[in-house]
């Protein structure tokens, strides 16, 4: 989709459609009022007839409105006047995309960014916020994953459905330069989110550890990153016995993918993002039940979020030093696979009793966390679809944050609020640690059913003692199940916002 920033009168736009807001009270937005004036009160009449009530995210397409230049007018409900929230604004924007998805309106002008949007503190959001969120919401709603569908023979005359060009209208008084920057930022973030979604949605026979490494390497040319891929032999030399233990049950070779975006000051300590890259999780010898097992292709969404975030910050030219570390492998049952009862020696030297081979995420992450020490990081954040227990605790709306430093957790929560990609701070107190006691090794890889997402975090904390660290469990937020099954691209918005804040502070 093509986006641009414009300003001008709604009644004078020669697009396939102009999009304007109306409120529940029957109150018209500025642009709806302008069209009403140009059309001798047509919009007012339509509302009086009761075809459109202005409820948030409702919509009505009007054709052939007299006195204006566009072919159509799309009325979008903004709910109660003076009560449009940030979420509500995005819902209205998404409604406008959906309403036009099945029409022949391709080239459209949206005036929704003129609406007054209130944040959680009741303060008005500026044009920059509205522009970048409009771009993201539009791209999010129009995302399709159909590369794996067979080619249908399309007739040449087939009309393209849905928006292909969107003019984001801003007031004459708005700073055009700033608006363009906001557009660029919104596009960069969308591009990172789409990338993460694509990687997540790809089938596990294609999206293998090798494939992830190739996609990362391809970003060297397109996005100016440095990428290094460590193979099994090098991982052996590093002593990553835990990571290699998980990988040994698969014919797919493991990869440790290391990305560098060094656009900050030379001596600035980097932020390290570590992403769980299990390209398929069968559970291993502790085999998972069959129902919904296909969804375990999404067990690399932590890795995908790291790659997506790198794409976004590269396209934003973010002045910050950031390193990505992705341990990628497959968790398969095999004659060679690790067994419950096996003891593995991690790169840190700590030995691990594997009581359940399905708790594999922590086994690959712990070595990646030890590896991250060498970068002398200012902070390390790992992102993982780590536990089913996290979904039981928090559901599908927010990600869980665990940290060994409260102010880092707060920083992450606030980035999530700003990006509308929220997270919640979970406890990780000392009391939980003893659930990981083992009779045969330094630590067990599971801590029982009680507080399963917390003991998983406790396990990781043992390998993250040398730096400020946070862990994001995204098991509930990285993808959707059911009819809308698909990757969400979360938490790329949160991570990107976190890094933007860090760059501003630097």
Smallest gap from Cβ 251 to ligand BES, in A, equals: 20
Q: Does 299 bind ligand BES (CB under 6 A)?
A: yes
Instruction: Tell me, rounded to whole angstroms, the distance of Cα 443 from its chain centroid.
Output: 32
Q: Which of residues 319-378 bind Zn ion (CB under 5 A)?
A: 361
Q: Does 360 bind ligand BES (CB under 6 A)?
A: yes
Catalytic residue among 72, 197, 362, 422: 362
205: how many CB neighbours lie within 10 A of its CB?
11
Q: Is the CB of 162 or the CB of 245 nearer to ligand BES? A: 245
Q: Does 452 bind ligand BES (CB under 6 A)?
A: yes
Q: Does 168 bind ligand BES (CB under 6 A)?
A: no
Give the DSSP H or E segment for 442: none
Q: Does 114 bind Zn ion (CB under 5 A)?
A: no
Collect all residues with Cβ–Cβ distance below 8 Å to 72 and sequence separation of at least 6.
16, 17, 18, 61, 62, 63, 65, 103, 105
> Running DSSP on this structure, what letter comes out for residue 148?
T
Q: Does 281 bind Zn ion (CB under 5 A)?
A: yes
Whose tokens are 């794409």? That residue is: 311
Smallest gap from Cβ 200 to ligand BES, in A, equals: 12
Q: Does 174 bind Mn ion (CB under 5 A)?
A: no
Collect all residues with Cβ–Cβ distance below 8 Å to 252 and sequence separation of at least 6.
208, 209, 210, 279, 329, 330
Size of the site for Mn ion (CB under 5 A): 3
Sole binder of ligand BES in the list 385, 399, 404, 461 (CB under 6 A): 385
387 binds, options Zn ion, ligand BES, Mn ion, none, Cβ within 5 to 8 A by partner type: ligand BES
In the bound complex, which residue of the shown chain has the CB atom lying closest to ligand BES?
388
Residue 76, strand partner residues = 21, 59
Q: Is the CB of 299 or the CB of 330 nearer to Zn ion? A: 299
Q: Does 473 bind ligand BES (CB under 6 A)?
A: no
Length of the chain: 506
Separation of alpha carbons 384 and 67, rounded Å: 55
Task: With H, G, I as helix, E, B as strand and everything else as coil, classify residue 384.
Answer: strand
| 288 among known catalytic residues | yes
Separation of alpha carbons 339 and 331, rounded Å: 12
Stretch that binds ligand BES, among 58-66, 258-266, 302-310, 379-387 (CB under 6 A): 379-387
The answer to whether 403 and 412 have CB atoms below 8 angstroms apart is yes
CA dihedral 469, 470, 471, 476 (to 10 degrees): -170
Stretch that binds ligand BES, among 7-15, 22-30, 41-49, 354-362 (CB under 6 A): 354-362
Size of the site for Zn ion (CB under 5 A): 4
Q: Is the CB of 360 or the CB of 382 nearer to ligand BES? A: 360
Task: With H, G, I as helix, E, B as strand and everything else as coil, classify residue 429.
Answer: coil
CB hemisphere CA count around 37 (13 angstroms): 11
Q: Does 281 bind ligand BES (CB under 6 A)?
A: yes
Inter-axis angle of helices 176-201 and 301-316, nearest 10: 160
Q: Is the CB of 91 or the CB of 385 nearer to ligand BES? A: 385
Q: Which of residues 295-314 bind Zn ion (CB under 5 A)?
A: 299
Give the catalytic positions in this structure. 288, 362
- Catalog residues that contact ligand BES under the rule CB under 6 A: 281, 299, 356, 358-361, 385-389, 391, 446, 452, 475
């Amino acid at each position: 989709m093509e986006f641009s920033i414009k300003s001008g009168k709604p009644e004078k736009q020669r697009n396939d459609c102009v999009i304007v807001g109306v409120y529940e009270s029957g109150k018209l937005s500025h642009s709806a009022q302008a069209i009403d004036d140009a059309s001798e009160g047509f919009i007012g009449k339509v509302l009086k007839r009761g075809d459109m009530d202005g409820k948030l995210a409702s919509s009505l397409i009007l054709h052939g409105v007299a006195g204006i230049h566009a072919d159509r007018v799309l009325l979008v409900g903004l709910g109660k006047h003076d009560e449009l929230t940030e979420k509500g604004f995005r819902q209205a924007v998404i409604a406008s995309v959906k309403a036009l998805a099945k029409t022949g309106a391709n080239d459209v002008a949206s005036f929704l960014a003129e609406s007054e949007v209130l944040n959680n503190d009741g303060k008005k959001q500026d044009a920059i916020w509205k522009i970048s969120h409009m771009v993201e919401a539009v791209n999010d709603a129009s995302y399709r994953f159909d590369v794996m569908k067979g080619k249908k023979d399309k007739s040449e005359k087939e009309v393209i459905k849905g928006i292909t060009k969107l003019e984001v209208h801003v007031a004459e008084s708005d700073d055009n330069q700033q608006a363009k920057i906001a557009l660029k930022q919104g596009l960069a973030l969308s591009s990172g989110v789409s990338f993460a979604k694509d990687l997540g949605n790809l089938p596990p026979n294609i999206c293998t550890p090798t494939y992830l490494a190739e996609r990362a390497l391809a970003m060297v040319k397109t996005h100016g990153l440095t990428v290094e891929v460590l193979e099994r032999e090098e991982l052996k030399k590093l002593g990553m016995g835990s990571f290699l233990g998980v990988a040994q049950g698969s014919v797919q070779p493991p990869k440790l993918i290391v990305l560098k975006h060094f656009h900050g000051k030379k001596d600035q300590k980097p932020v390290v993002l570590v992403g769980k890259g299990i390209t398929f999780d069968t559970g291993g010898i502790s085999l998972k039940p069959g129902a919904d097992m296909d969804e375990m292709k999404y067990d690399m969404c932590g890795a995908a979020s790291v790659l997506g975030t790198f794409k976004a910050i590269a396209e934003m030219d973010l002045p910050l030093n950031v390193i990505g570390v992705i341990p990628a492998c497959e968790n398969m049952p095999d004659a060679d696979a690790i067994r419950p009862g096996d003891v593995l020696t991690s790169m840190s030297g700590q030995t691990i009793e594997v009581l359940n081979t399905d708790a594999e995420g922590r086994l690959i992450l712990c070595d990646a966390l030890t590896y991250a020490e060498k970068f002398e990081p200012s902070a390390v954040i790992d992102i993982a679809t780590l536990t089913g227990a996290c979904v039981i605790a928090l559901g599908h709306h927010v990600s869980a944050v665990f940290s060994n430093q409260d102010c880092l957790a707060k920083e992450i929560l606030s980035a999530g609020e700003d990006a509308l990609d929220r997270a919640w701070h979970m406890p990780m107190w000392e009391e939980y640690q003893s659930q990981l006691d083992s009779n045969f090794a330094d630590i067990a890889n599971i801590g029982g059913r009680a507080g399963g997402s917390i003991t998983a975090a406790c396990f990781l904390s043992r390998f993250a003692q040398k730096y400020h660290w946070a862990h994001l469990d995204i098991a509930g937020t990285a993808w959707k199940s059911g009819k809308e099954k698909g990757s969400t691209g979360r938490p790329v918005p949160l991570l990107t916002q976190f890094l933007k804040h860090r760059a501003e502070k630097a």
